[in-house]
């Protein structure tokens, strides 16, 4: 019984919790809490961990740092977006180990003047991300409400490791030894297709961020200055913004890749370039370093659909593909000649010193400028 304009400070903590829980009901119903587990309401919840271990990761989103309530482009961040992204990026970390999300908890910090509807939409965003991204067994296992100057959402996700064991950034010793000698194939998987314009691949979240951070008036001026054929359409723009605000990690593919024996894996939170270098350092050694190379044909294919959006931001589409973060795809290694797991594609190589694979160029660790220098 809250009026349309109610803010957080108008309600007792219990009232706000009740409204939040109503929005979480689809993923916190009794059926999802088997015997021996405990739903939220006690001091702690108890989640199933059938394999005798549990994967755990935490990540926070802060207003002003990780998102703006109103972006220079004029877009307002909805509670739904923040809930979705906070859940998605944590589910992604669990996914990157090959684990299946089993639950998440959240500590919400809210200014007193936050509209109650914004907060219930945030809870709805948690629920939507869990359901739409396919983390059907993930329970919202409780949380904490606090007051602060800015919205801050800390989420911890838990997961069941796969039967085959978790996949780490460093391969098992035997595979690693082979990779140090022969190199490795770099593979990538994007998230499930959204309802919008095509499938979001690497770079789309960064393209969306670049749009959001550009002043609305400037965007309109730039659009007017572009040749109509080079001007992005409304669906392209919405697709990029949605990739940034509501990323889509491929939650079905992490456990599947673990089952099909992928050698190493991580999620792409900081860009394909930087994260490929992390995988290279995890497998390589100071004596036997490995260098990442990107497949030129793949890069051209991944960059092409970003061309018009990049033009509007005065950036190169390849920069978004290689240096853009927050898409939460999966980046992995398979041995040379080994099968690429379903849903993944080859995007490059790790090579021992002195080897230069045909059709590839060096993959820069950070942004496009550095890439130019390396090339």
Quick check: 85 binds a copy of itself (CB under 8 A)? no
- The answer to the question of whether 43 is labelled as a binding residue is yes
Residue 138 interacting with a copy of itself (CB under 8 A) = no
Q: Is 107 in the site for a copy of itself (CB under 8 A)?
A: yes
Distance CA(372)–CA(135), nearest Å, equals 40
Residue 303 beta carbon to a copy of itself: minimum distance, rounded to whole angstroms: 26
**Distances in Å between the alpha carbon of 89 and those of 59, 104, 130?**
8, 12, 11
User: Which residues are within 8 A (CB) of 262 and not within 5 positions of it... i.e. 6 or more apart?
Assistant: 98, 167, 187, 332, 333, 334, 341, 344
Q: CB of 91: closest distance to a copy of itself in angstroms?
A: 10
| Residue 105 engages a copy of itself in binding (rule: CB under 8 A) | yes
Contact assessment for residue 280 and residue 291, using Cβ atoms and an 8 Å cutoff: yes
CB burial class (10 A; 0-12, 13-18, 19+) of residue 286?
exposed
Q: How many CB atoms lie within 10 A of CB 25?
A: 11
Is 227 labeled as ligand-binding?
no
| First and final C-alpha spacing in the chain | 63
**Does 18 engage in binding with a copy of itself (CB under 8 A)?**
no
With CA atoms as reference, report the closest residue to 308 among 375, 210, 193, 215. 210
Which span sits near a copy of itself by CB under 8 A: 32-40, 130-138, 351-359, 362-370?
Answer: 32-40
Q: Is 57 annotated as a binding residue?
A: yes
Instruction: Assess 142 for contact with a copy of itself (CB under 8 A).
Output: yes
When asked if residue 327 is in the footprint of a copy of itself (CB under 8 A), the reply is no
**Is 127:23 a contact under the CB 8 Å cutoff?**
yes
Q: Do β-strands 184-189 and 139-147 pair in parallel, antiparallel, or remain unpaired?
A: unpaired
Q: Is 197 annotated as a binding residue?
A: no
112 binds a copy of itself (CB under 8 A): no
Selected binder of a copy of itself within 22, 25, 46, 163 (CB under 8 A) = 46
Q: Pick one of 38, 69, 307, 338: the residue that binds a copy of itself (CB under 8 A).
A: 38
Question: Which among 107, 76, 96 is positioned nearest to 270, based on CA atoms?
Answer: 96
Query: Which are the contacts of 229, defined by CB distance < 8 A and separation ≥ 6?
Result: none
Residue 106 among known ligand-binding residues:
no
Going 84 to 93 to 166 to 24, the CA torsion angle's sign is negative
Contact status: 9 vs a copy of itself (CB under 8 A): no
Does 47 sit near a copy of itself (CB under 8 A)? yes
What is the rounded CA–CA span in Å between residue 83 and residue 100? 19
> Pick from 147, 215, 221, 369: which binds a copy of itself (CB under 8 A)?
147
Nearer to a copy of itself, 99 or 209 (CB): 99
Which of these ranges, 90-98, 128-136, 184-192, 316-324, lies near a copy of itself under the rule CB under 8 A?
A: 90-98
Question: Which of 54, 69, 223, 307 is close enough to bind a copy of itself by CB under 8 A?
Answer: 54
What string marks each residue from 259 to 278 as x (binds a copy of itself by CB under 8 A) or -? -------xx-----------
The dihedrals phi and psi of 156, each to the nearest 5 degrees, come to -120, 130
Q: Which of 76, 131, 150, 314 binds a copy of itself (CB under 8 A)?
A: 150
Cα-Cα-Cα-Cα dihedral sign, residues 100, 103, 105, 110 = positive
Q: How far is the CB of 52 from a copy of itself (least distance, A)?
A: 6
Which residue from 56, 132, 164, 338 is in contact with a copy of itself, where contact means CB under 8 A? Answer: 56
CA distance 164 to 256: 10
By CB under 8 A, tell whether 176 contacts a copy of itself: no
Of residues 309, 307, 303, 310, the one with CA closest to residue 233: 309
**Distance separating alpha carbons of residues 295 and 230, to the nearest angstrom:** 25
Binding-site residues, please?
43, 57-59, 66, 93, 143-144, 169, 267, 269-270, 326, 368
Binding-site residues for ATP, please?
143-144, 169, 269
Binding-site residues for substrate, please?
66, 326, 368
Question: Which residues are near a copy of itself by CB under 8 A?
Answer: 36-38, 41-50, 52-60, 62, 64-66, 92-94, 96-97, 99, 103, 105-107, 109, 141-144, 146-150, 152, 154, 156-159, 161, 165-166, 168-169, 266-267
């Amino acid at each position: 019984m809250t009026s349309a304009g109610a803010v957080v400070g108008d309600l007792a903590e219990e009232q706000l919790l009740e409204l939040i829980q109503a929005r979480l009901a689809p993923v916190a119903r009794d059926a999802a809490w088997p015997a021996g587990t405990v739903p939220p309401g006690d001091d702690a919840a108890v989640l199933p961990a059938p394999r005798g271990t549990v994967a755990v990761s935490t990540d926070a989103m802060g207003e002003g740092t990780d998102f703006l309530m109103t972006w220079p482009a004029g877009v307002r961040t909805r509670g739904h977006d923040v809930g979705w992204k906070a859940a998605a990026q944590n589910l992604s970390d669990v996914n990157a180990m090959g684990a299946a999300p089993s639950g998440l908890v959240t500590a919400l910090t809210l200014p007193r003047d936050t509209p109650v509807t914004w907060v219930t939409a945030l809870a709805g965003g948690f629920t939507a991300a869990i359901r739409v991204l396919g983390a059907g067994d993930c329970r919202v296992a409780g949380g904490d409400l606090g007051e602060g100057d800015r919205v801050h959402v800390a989420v911890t996700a838990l997961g069941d490791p796969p039967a085959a064991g978790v996949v780490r950034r460093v391969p098992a010793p035997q595979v690693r030894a082979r990779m140090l000698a022969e190199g490795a194939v770099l593979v990538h998987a994007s998230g499930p297709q959204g309802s919008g314009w095509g499938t979001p691949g690497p770079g789309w979240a960064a393209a969306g961020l670049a749009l959001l951070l550009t002043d609305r008036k400037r965007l309109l001026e730039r659009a007017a200055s572009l040749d109509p054929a080079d001007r992005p359409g409304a669906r392209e723009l919405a697709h990029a913004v949605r990739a940034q605000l509501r990323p889509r990690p491929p939650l079905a593919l992490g456990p599947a890749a673990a089952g099909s024996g992928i050698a190493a894996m991580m999620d792409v939170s900081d860009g394909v370039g930087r994260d490929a270098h992390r995988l290279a350092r995890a497998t390589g050694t100071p004596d036997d370093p490995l260098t990442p190379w990107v497949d030129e044909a793949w890069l051209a294919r991944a960059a092409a659909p970003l061309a018009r959006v990049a033009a509007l931001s005065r950036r190169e589409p390849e920069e978004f593909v290689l240096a853009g973060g927050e898409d939460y795809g999966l980046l992995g290694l398979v041995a040379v000649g080994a099968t690429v797991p379903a849903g993944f594609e080859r995007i490059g190589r790790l090579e021992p010193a002195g080897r230069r694979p045909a059709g590839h160029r060096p993959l820069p660790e950070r942004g496009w400028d550095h890439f130019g220098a390396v090339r």
